[in-house]
Structures are given as structure tokens and as C-alpha cells.
Structure 1
Amino acid sequence: MNRPTILRYISILYRFSQIHIAQQLKPHKIGSGQYPFIFSVCRNPGINQDGLSERLLIDKGTTAKAVKILEAGGFLRREQDPADRRVYRLYATPEGEKLGKTLESILPLWQELLWKGFSRQEKEQAYSLVQRMSENAKDFLTRSAEENSAPY
């Protein structure tokens, strides 16, 4: 049997999720690529860009671009850290807070749709298995990067 890999299905879930979220965020004039950043800043006020990159497992360049877009759109503001003037802390503006609340309603509804027909046990098992796969991938790439002295 020539069965597609699980990565194919994860990719499909990701693409459809991005399409749905982009449609929901259209009135806010941001793309689905920026939502993890504003969502994380709303949940972690005062986080810096390096912390945001680490939290989201996204490279610093991509984070810088997303922060710039969100700042230009009036969703984020930067404040210089008084203890270390080289560091800027990120905070959601009132418009960003509104967007964060919108996301707090969009994401659970989408997940609920994805879990349609699953028992509680199936949900927990699927979540656990995908989480373990993610940890395996992260561990492997982290080890590879350390061995090659290069960031992944």
C-alpha cells in the first residue's frame, strides 16, 4: 500500500488553517503569518523579539519582519527596556488587544471544527502523539545544529 506520510496530512491541516485564519483576519488587514506574533505578545506582554522567536520557534529575521508589520499596522508598540537600553519590549496596542481577543475566539472554534466526531480519548491521544513528534523533530534539529555549530 502506497500510503501518504503523516507530514502530508499535517501540511494539509496547516494550509487549511492558514486559509481559514487569513479569511477571519481580512477585516484587520493582517495575514495569517502575523497572528502567532500578536497572539504571543498579548499573552506575554513585555516579551522581547528574541524571546518571541524562541517561544514560537521562528528565526529572528522572520520575527523582526512580523513585528515591523504589526507595529506599522498599529497592533504592537515597542518600549525600550530601562534596565538594558539595547532591548525593546513588545506590547499590544488597544487595537492589538482587540485583535488578540478576536484570535481567542477564532482559534478554539476552528479547533472544535477539526475535532468534530472525535471522542475525548481520541483528542487526547492525537494531541499527545503530535506533541511527541514535534518534540522529536525539535530535539533532532537542536542536536544537529549543536553538532554543526549552526542554527537550524
Structure 2
Amino acid sequence: MTSKILREVGTVARCIQSISDITYREIKLQRGQFIFLTRICEQPGINLIDLSQVLKVDKTTTTKAIQKLLEENYVQRKRDNADKRMWHLYPTGKAAEIYPYIINEENRNIDVCFAGFSQEEKEMVYHLVKRMGENIEQNWKTLKNNQG
């Protein structure tokens, strides 16, 4: 039973990822970059470490994605005044323009996924998946901390 659940969650995630990759190609956002861009738009000034934590990815993945967003002029970075090794990330005007488009696409995917669901079912799914995330996050943190 449990493998079926994770397989279904994975299928949904991969479908949405694939749809997003195709949809965002025209605005020069590559594989998964939109998730980094949305978080930067929602949390201007976030640093690479915190962004990696929020998205549950390693710093190398974050660094590569941010570099591409910098090259496409979606993000700008500013050095921290107190800690010169720390960079803060901010959306550019170009990012602010496409942010509503990305959110609309995200909402469209949600609407498609939840077609035929009652409000109660939607809320139940949200709470159950949120709990799953909270449960696995602890395992992720433990494993990550034991890596290096």
C-alpha cells in the first residue's frame, strides 16, 4: 500500500514538472527554475542557504539554478553588509512581471488535479500531504546533517 501512495505522489509531481518545463520554456525558465523564482519573489532578500532549506534541495542545485536566473535577469543578488560571504537574492522587474503568470499556471495545475473533488476532500488531501511532508522532513534533516 505505501509504495502505491508514494508512486502516485511522484507521478503527480513529475507530470506537473513536465507541464511546467514545457509551459515556461517560452520565458526561458529551464527545468524547475520556477520554484526558485517564486520563492525569491515571495521572500525577497532570502539567502542561498535558506532557499535550499525551503525547497529541500542541496546548495549545489540552488547555486546552479540561481546562476541561470541571474543570467536571464530574473534575479539579482546583493552582498550582506555584516557577512561578506553571504548573498541575498531579490527578484528583478522582469521576475515581478512573470510572477503572476507562474502563480496562475500553478493554480491551473491545482484546479486540474482537484477536478471533481469536494472542498472537504481538497482540505483533507492538503492536511494529509502536509503531514507526510512534515514526517519525511525530519528524516531528510537527519540524513542531510549526517552527510558532512
Asked if TM exceeds 0.5, the reply is yes
Structure 2: unaligned runs, 5 residues or longer: none
Structure 1 position 142, deviation (Å): 2.6
Shift of 1:132: 1.0
1:90 and 2:89 matched: yes
Q: 1:33 matched to which residue of 2?
A: 32
Provide the C-alpha distance between the structure 1 equivalents of 2:73 and 2:126, rounded to a whole number of angstroms: 35
Q: Normalising by the residue count of structure 2, what TM-score does the alignment of the two structures yield?
A: 0.91
For this pair of structures, how many residues does the alignment match? 148
| Counterpart Cα distance in 1 of 2:64 and 2:43 | 19
1:140 offset after TM fit, Å?
2.4
CA spacing shift, 1:3–1:39, aligned 2, 3 Å: closer
Residues 107-118 of structure 1 aligned to structure 2 (within 5 Å): 107-118=106-117
Bigger shift: 59-68 or 27-36?
Answer: 27-36
Please tell me whether residue 78 in structure 1 is matched to residue 77 in structure 2.
yes
CA distance in 2, matches of 1:118, 1:18: 22
What is the CA-CA distance between 1:50 and the residue it aligns to?
0.7
- Segments of 4+ in structure 1 off by > 4 A? none
Unaligned runs of 5+ in 1: none
> Alpha-carbon deviation of 1:24?
1.7
Question: Post-superposition shift, 1:40?
Answer: 0.3
C-alpha spacing 1:98/1:32, structure 2 compared with 1 (3 Å): farther
Q: What is the DSSP-based 3-state SS (H/G/I as helix, E as strand, rest coil) of the residue aligned with 2:76?
A: strand
TM-score normalised by length of structure 1? 0.89
Percent identical residues: 30
Q: 1:144 to 1:89 in 2, by over 3 A?
A: closer
Q: Secondary structure, in 3 states, of the residue corresponding to 2:84?
A: coil
Any idea what SS the aligned residue of 1:103 has?
A: helix
- Hey, what does 2:133 align to over in structure 1? 134
Larger radius of gyration: 1
Letter in structure 2 aligned against 1:85: K
| C-alpha RMSD of matched pairs (Å) | 1.8
More off after superposition, 56-65 vs 75-84: 75-84
More helix as a share of residues: 2
